[in-house]
Amino acid sequence: MKKLILCLIFVSLAFADNEEMLEKAQILEEQGNYKEAMLIYKEIATQNTKDIPKQDLESQSNRQVFAKQYLTFEDKETSQSVGQLLSSEFGLYAYNTNYFAPISYQNTQANDRKKNEAKFQISVRKPISYNILGMDESIEFGYTQTSWWQIYEKSGPFRETNYSPEVFALFLNKDNNSPLKAYKMGFIHTSNGQRGEESRSWNRLYVQGTYRVGNLFVTPTLWYRIPERAKKDPNDTYGDDNPDITTYYGFGELEIKYPYKQHIFDLKLRNNFRENNKNYVDFTWTFPFYTKSKLSKYFGYINVSSGYGDNLIDYQRYINRVTLGVAFSR
């Protein structure tokens, strides 16, 4: 029902010049006369598609409208299923930054790679349930995949990929007088999908809060690594791949974001707070493309990082890196 309401709202916005016909179609649909309602939607589309640029027909919203108006079935649920297949809409949303960077240069020499490579990240979240605890919380599933791609090698191998599925509960604080705006807690697994001596993985429980301090958003995160049994042999399938990983990643992270107009400056800091000090600094600037081209909907992406934990396979190495690319979400 919720998807139906959203779709009707979208159709109303897209075809505002046909309000009377839309109202009639909506009434018919509410009465269960789905077939006649679809005929009206089709008539509206016929009047309006001549004004829609051809390239826009490939957009997500127009796929949904196309499915609703041109792929109709007498059975309402069948029609909705076909529309979902065409639009590939399953309630997924951007989570962490999604970007593609053709330039990601590290100054540390390594025999297994070129210093310059491509790097990209895919990150989505899927809401699972809402308010089951009575605290207006959202229970969600998140997935982030970060890849380092030796695109300038002849065979273009993927040097490293880190996979991070997680489940978390997000709580939004509606108290305007409190600097705490949101907090969440969850479980996250991170691994690189390798075997034997190149295998890296760890599981964590974490808590995170987001505070507003003036124009800054400050987000401290604390995590607890779930212990694993020691491996008797490096090639064992089960067991601790990296028993010293908290020595390099520590037990938390501090993130500071500063939004300014259409720019976002993001600083992340880690430190193990031990005598044998290991730290990591990561700074990202995303900015708009001032152009009338298709890139105007995306953002420039500049990242500079230094320290331990650049990625799982290299977590014990101190790496300085500069990354330039395009962000698709922030």
Name the residues annotated as catalytic. 189, 191
Two structure tokens written together for 291: 């152009």
- Amino acid identity of residue 310, one-letter, is D
| Nearest CA among 283, 254, 281, 253 for reference residue 266 | 283
H or E segment at 136?
none
Phi/psi for 198 (5° steps) reads: -95, 0
Phi/psi for 13 (5° steps) reads: -70, -40
Two structure tokens written together for 255: 């993130």
Residue that has been written with the tokens 């000090």 in this structure: 277
CA separation for the pair 8, 6 (Å, rounded): 5
Classify the C-alpha dihedral 243-246-249-251 as positive or negative.
positive
Classify the C-alpha dihedral 305-162-155-99 as positive or negative.
negative
Two structure tokens written together for 269: 């800091």
Task: Using the CB atoms, write b or e for 23-41: b if 16+ within 10 Å.
Answer: eebbebbeeeebeebbebb
